[in-house]
Amino acid sequence: MKAVRQMIVGCAALGMLVAAASPSFARPVDQWSMKVVDGSTSNLADGSAMTFFGTWRNIPGLVGGAVQFQFNGEPSYGVGRGTRRHNPAARNFAFSETFTSKPIPSGYSGNLMQKGYFNDPGQIKLQLVPANGGTVECRIKGTAGARTVHSPVIVDDGRWHTATCFRQSDWVGLTVDAVTKKLHWSPGRISNNRTVRVGNKNDAADESDQHFGAVDCSVYTIQGAARRQALARVPC
């Protein structure tokens, strides 16, 4: 079967995770670098599958002669098996993804990576929006409410970009291509029973939040130095 090193998601590709219960214990960082075989790729932390749904094709990749994976229609998305219980609660976390984006229609948002839905008690979501020429937002929801951090960096240009949504103690923020926006706010505890998803939230055509573009890799880490750890891993 043909292995794919990188992947383009008709909106997305995938996610990654690290959890730390205390300074003396850290769960291995979960990471999907888009080496896809038969519609799935493995989490580098534990070998669990990220399974992709939808229609796709292979295109030239970001690094060397590697191949990317591109979804051709919506709804298309990836599901990180085994990540349902990977909740940050009150700990630091970071979502990070390297991606490209096709033009973002007015009034539309494309999901890069998420854990949790809008109405769930907790959510972390990286999404593309048409504001200011095509930019990235990070929505974080916990027991203390919800906030959205907006980046000024334009990403609707077909080039490679890296976005990292994070919590750092009593701050939340978003770093896009080394430009960071932060908000002094604590979300409380963040938990939900959803898996990590890349490119779209589900297969309901009337609820599509498709990301049309490419994904090099995705990372989701939970630990004290989460933002730094995630940025050190992307691009994969």
Asked, for residue 12, whether it belongs to a domain, the answer is no
Considering the chain, what is the average pLDDT of its residues?
Answer: 81
DSSP classification of residue 36: B
Asked, for residue 201, whether it belongs to a domain, the answer is yes
Give residue 128's domain range. 30-231
Which pLDDT tens digit goes with each residue over 66-79? 445 555 566 778 88
Per-residue pLDDT averaged across 155-183, rounded?
Answer: 96
Give just the sign of the alpha carbon dihedral 148, 21, 228, 185.
Answer: positive
Asked, for residue 21, whether it belongs to a domain, the answer is no
Query: How many whole angstroms separate alpha carbon 87 and alpha carbon 48?
Result: 17
Which pLDDT tens digit goes with each residue over 112-134? 999 999 999 999 999 999 999 99
Asked, for residue 154, whether it belongs to a domain, the answer is yes
Map residue 226 onto helix, strand or coil.
helix
Asked, for residue 93, whether it belongs to a domain, the answer is yes
Asked, for residue 236, whether it belongs to a domain, the answer is no
DSSP classification of residue 41: E
pLDDT beyond 70 at 111: yes
Give just the sign of the alpha carbon dihedral 121, 16, 93, 162.
Answer: negative
pLDDT of residue 62: 56
Give how many domains the chain has, as a whole number.
1
pLDDT of residue 207: 65
pTM of structure: 0.82
pLDDT of residue 4: 42
Query: How many whole angstroms separate alpha carbon 92 and alpha carbon 8?
Result: 28
Structure token digits, residue 146: 């919800």
Amino acid at 45: A
- CA distances to 29, 82, 90, 147 from 142, rounded to whole Å, are 22, 21, 9, 9
Range of weakest confidence among 77-81, 167-171, 179-183: 77-81
Band (25; pLDDT cuts 50, 70, 90): very low
Q: What is the tally of helices (H) and strands (E) in the chain?
A: 1, 16
pLDDT of residue 75: 77
Higher pLDDT, 190 or 110: 190
Asked, for residue 169, whether it belongs to a domain, the answer is yes
155-191: buried (b, 16+ CB within 10 Å) or exposed (e) per residue? bbeeebbbbbbbbbeeebbbbbbeeebeeebbbeebb
Cβ 46 vs Cβ 220: under 8 Å? no
CATH number for the domain that contains residue 133: 2.60.120.200
Band (209; pLDDT cuts 50, 70, 90): confident
Residues 6+ away with beta carbon under 8 Å from 49: 40, 41, 42, 43, 81
pLDDT of residue 217: 85
Asked, for residue 130, whether it belongs to a domain, the answer is yes
Instruction: Count CB atoms within 10 A of the CB of residue 35.
Output: 19
